[in-house]
Structure 1
Amino acid sequence: MKTTPTRVVVAVDQPLVRGGVCALLDAQADLAVAGQAGWAAEAIRVTAALAPGVVVLDLGLSGGDPAELVGELTGHGARVLAITTGHTVALVARVLRAGASGVVLTGAGPVALIGAVRACAAGGIWLDPAVAGDVLCELLSQPVTGQATAAMVRRLTEREREVLELMAYGLDNAEIARRLFISDLTVRTHVGRVLHKLGCGTRAHAVVMAYRSGLVRVEAAALT
């Protein structure tokens, strides 16, 4: 049975780079470039008009603050994969809090970019290994949080904690469903309840709470 390709908007300011990303994604049977944008206002307009599943967003796009732009795009129902030539933990944290589903460095290569787009489209979180390492190091440098955070996580049901743990390991909804032998719809329901109970607007925020509460250890996540 043939599936409908995921529609993607590519928002990159440099025309040559944008063209290369579009050509790469369009060559994949399960992805289709629905539109392009070269600056922030255009990215918002195109996303609102085309309702893509994923927006590949250059964090250096002119005309807007990166985190605010991510918030605008996710507000139109799109998942955002942020791409950047460089990064800081603060920038990554801001765009993830704003709702980005992934961050990838431009030097990661085409295979990583395709995998990242697919992961975001499937409802997962994708972090470039270099970015993930920095974020985890930042988490480790902070004091253990948490009685309030840990208490909130403990109030989740056993199944909801299982789902949150697998989210923290980087699994998307389909992978969680296979691991737990439940349907994708059931996973989506559990994820929604986890976000609601933890007061999180994004999966990334919930994952941070999983680490800070002690539910997931960095060493265990690294070995998964």
Structure 2
Amino acid sequence: MTQAQEQSRSSPADGSSVRVLIADDKTMSRTSIRLLLSTEPGIEIVAEARDGAQAVEQARSLRPDVVLMDVRMPGMDGIEATKQITSDEFSGPDQPIKVLILTTYHVDDAVYAALRGGASGFLLRDSAPVQLGQAIHTVAGGDAWLDPAVARGLISEFAARPEPRLPAPAEMQELTSRELDVLVLAAHGLSNSDIAAHLFIGEATVKTHLGRVLMKLGLRDRSQAIAAAYQTGLVKPGSCLPPPGTGYLAGEDQPAPRRRRFRLHR
């Protein structure tokens, strides 16, 4: 997929630019990001914030599509700002503001906290400029973005770290075969478009299934769903992707209560 195709797929449906707020306590970092994005088509920088509190204030008043958030900032840090900005009370369920974490650290506790706080993705500061633009368009379109350099480590660590709230085995049994297919592929790091291609279904159908997974399991976002897939044993670290076009019941969309027993891995 070319960059232009990626942007066309992930940009707002009305064709407008993705409105971005930059939150970073370092002036030089904010300036560098602004310069990098100034040549990126379909992206508009609406404001800059020097700390978490200012990011929350500007997000509330300007309603950007995406916030580029530094994790470590004085006062209110990026983790707390992310929790507030992505909450239903703040953003609303119909027009959520997405948060993309920018950091120099590969994987650490702050990254986990930000992702579990509602962030839609994670990108290293030394990533190529084209990746920054792709990441913004991707999260604006409703997908998650994990930097390829750290995705494997992040997923492995998710498998080992307990979530504050995991779905009960009985809840996992309520997922249909197709919902399980989508969850498994998401846990392997595939985007919605990749899942659609793998299962030979439409991307809108993938989003519908993923939404039902979150609703049935009582989870907030894709990151929690991925953690649940590993910690309930549905997916094991290092396991291979299922062959394209195949699933638990060859595509049958039926509940899965007697096909598999789930248990929590602590």
TM over 0.5, shorter chain: yes
Residues 89-137 of structure 1, C-alpha deviations (whole Å, 9 max, x = no match) = 3222211111011112212232332232222122222222443333334
Decide whether the 8 Å contact of 1:168 with 1:216 is kept in 2: yes
1:10 to 2:10 alignment = no
1:58-97 equivalences under 5 Å are 58-75=70-87, 76=91, 77-86=96-105, 88-97=107-116
Residue of 111, 123, 132 corresponding to 2:151:
132
Residue 47 of structure 1: how far off its partner (Å): 0.9
Q: 1:190: which partner in 2?
A: 209
Using structure 1 for the length normalisation, give the TM-score. Answer: 0.84
Aligned to 1:29: 41
8 Å Cα contact 2:159/2:230 also seen in 1: no
Q: Partners of 1:174 and 1:4 in 2: how far apart? A: 21
Greater alpha carbon shift after TM alignment, 14-23 vs 198-207? 14-23
Residue 139 of structure 1: how far off its partner (Å)? 4.3
Shift of 1:73: 1.5
Match of 1:154 in 2: 173
The separation in 2 between residues aligned to 1:148 and 1:78, in whole angstroms, is 25
Separation in structure 2 between the aligned mates of residue 176 and residue 137 of structure 1, nearest angstrom = 20
Match of 1:111 in 2: 130
TM-score, normalised relative to structure 2: 0.72
Tell me the number of residue pairs that the alignment of Structure 1 and Structure 2 aligns. 221
In structure 1, C-alpha distance between the alignment counterparts of 2:28 and 2:130, rounded to whole Å? 19
Which residue of 57, 60, 73 maps to 1:48? Answer: 60
Give 1 or 2: higher helix fraction. 1
Percent identity for Structure 1 against Structure 2: 37
SS at match of 2:21: strand
In the alignment, the residues of structure 2 paired with residue 222 and residue 91 of structure 1 have an alpha-carbon distance, to the nearest angstrom, of 29
- Pick closer, same or farther for the CA change 1:214–1:9 going to 2, 3 Å: same
SS at match of 2:76: coil
Provide the residue aligned with 2:189 in structure 1.
Answer: 170
What do you get for the CA RMSD once the two structures are aligned? 2.9
Equivalent position amino acid for 2:63 in 1 = A
Q: Is the 8 A contact 2:52 2:80 kept in 1?
A: no
Q: What is the Cα deviation at residue 150 of structure 1?
A: 5.0
